[in-house]
Structure 1
Amino acid sequence: MIKNMFFALAAIGFFATSCSNDDDNSGPTNSNLTFNAQGLEALGSGYVYEGWIIVSGAPVSTGTFTDVSSAQVFSVNTEKLNNATRFVLSIEPAVDPDPAPADTKVLVGDFSGNSATLNSSIVGDFSNAAGAFFLRTPTDETGTNNGNDHYGVWFGTPGMPPAPNFVLPTLPAGWAYEGWVVGDNGPITTGTFNVFNMADAFDDFSETSQPGPPVPGEDFFLNAPTGETFPLDVRGRTVVISVEPVPDDSPAPFAIKPLVGTAGQDTAPATHDFGANLGSLPTGTVTR
């Protein structure tokens, strides 16, 4: 009798343990998604990078990060990760009330098996990037050329009026072009722009005698940044066109710099060519 009771209790205990184990295993499981990137740059303090997998056409966040110096490992729902067809990397506000991805998408790639190769094609196709600039200072003139054209840079071909010559893609929402001249203390902005046949919205460094031409650019006479001396002689300096997230809380150029050139000694009507800088475009991989 005692033996029978012992076996009965053992059976009940085994059944209870089995049920408990079933309960423990009934929840969703997670798997790792490993992200590696080359060419990303740190963001300003108000923004973070965020990864997304696309599952049945809908974005699912994989998590956020700010450290671009090492690989990131995300813990993601296994079923969703296995069903993902694409990975996207975006730039998001650090405090973000919107659960959807922002317009500022940096990298994208489709899964092939357990990995995806990422590139910046979601920003634009820069494979044919080209353009030129000229040295001229129209904003301090009241009549004839006053002979100090080496203090300004404008993007296009000189003429009456100057004409745009960029070979660059139209950027999607969330992005803008920005011009830069490398000064004695770092890059100096010439302003942001999205069209090539209009002046940009920035003229803080220019004089006020005349408006600038209908192309992006800047004269460097007023309000010199810390560490710089104006008027700034642009000759021999590096000139850069970058692609910037909008909005942008970092004063430095972003990682994507499709055009880089060096200003020569000659002022307008001479032009100076940009060279394609495709090596600056960020790339990456994800593995599930």
Structure 2
Amino acid sequence: MKAWRVHRNGEPSEAMRLDETDRPAPGAGQVLLKVRAANVNFPDALLCRGEYQIRPPLPFTPGVEVCGETEDGRRVIGNPALPYGGFAEYTLADEAALLPAPDSLDDAEAAALHIGYQTGWFGLHRRARLREGETLLVHAAAGGVGSAAVQLGKAAGARVIGVAGGPDKARTARELGCDLVVDRHTDDVVAAVKEATGGRGADVVYDPVGGDAYAQSAKCVAFEGRIVVVGFAGGAIPAPALNHALVKNYSIVGLHWGLYNRMDPAAVRDCHERLTRLAAEGVVRPLISARVPLKDAADAVQRVADGRTTGRLAVIP
């Protein structure tokens, strides 16, 4: 079979190599999946660089989110068992963690309903306790993680302010349903949020970026607001000023969705059922900006690493 493999850590476009290799053999509790679609996530770039919290042995295949078909014909979504990631014709996954692919979505959309939307659901509902009528600020609102949070925030009855970089991404954020879009390239994010909220600020901030975005969040979060730290796609891990959180009465909460797979898998299955219903009702629909063939997977991962994409890129073997 064909599979992209990383033999030496580095930038995706340089580290990933398309190899001809044997199909992986399932271990105890695992199943072989024929990959129908593998979506590109920022962790794939971190895996290539050797900067992710999980460091599989070399050589490995990146690709942490797939829609696949089991040998008995079931269409499922899940996270491949590294080092056999999803940017290949076949991958492995743990049987117990597989979820049924929603009938209302195609393969790429179904795969995208997993990590980004589960992260958004747990971040907004379990960690931030978002309430109807509150103001939600979403950084990188046109990206894969941010676009999911925008749709889920609107579904929860929140007023959503999206931050995006540049006119094209700002346009995408508006099309996703943001009530207000702030272009971080030309606008003062803090001033815009305060003006839009009558000086109160955002009740919940969803931050997958870190760095300057987090600093802006701390300046425009509301009294008793919640900043949800989802990731650091901007590259810089902020050092929160806890004295500032104290005097402004806001909370800083972390969200590592993968931990729920180990600590509370029943909650993951419940979340998937909720997301499946929302998709069937047309309330949420993953934004797939491009579907690319397997031969172009390395370029797709590099584009995500460089922040040159909106929504999700899907690799179709």
Band the TM-score falls in, shorter-chain normalisation: under 0.3
Q: Using structure 2 for the length normalisation, give the TM-score.
A: 0.26
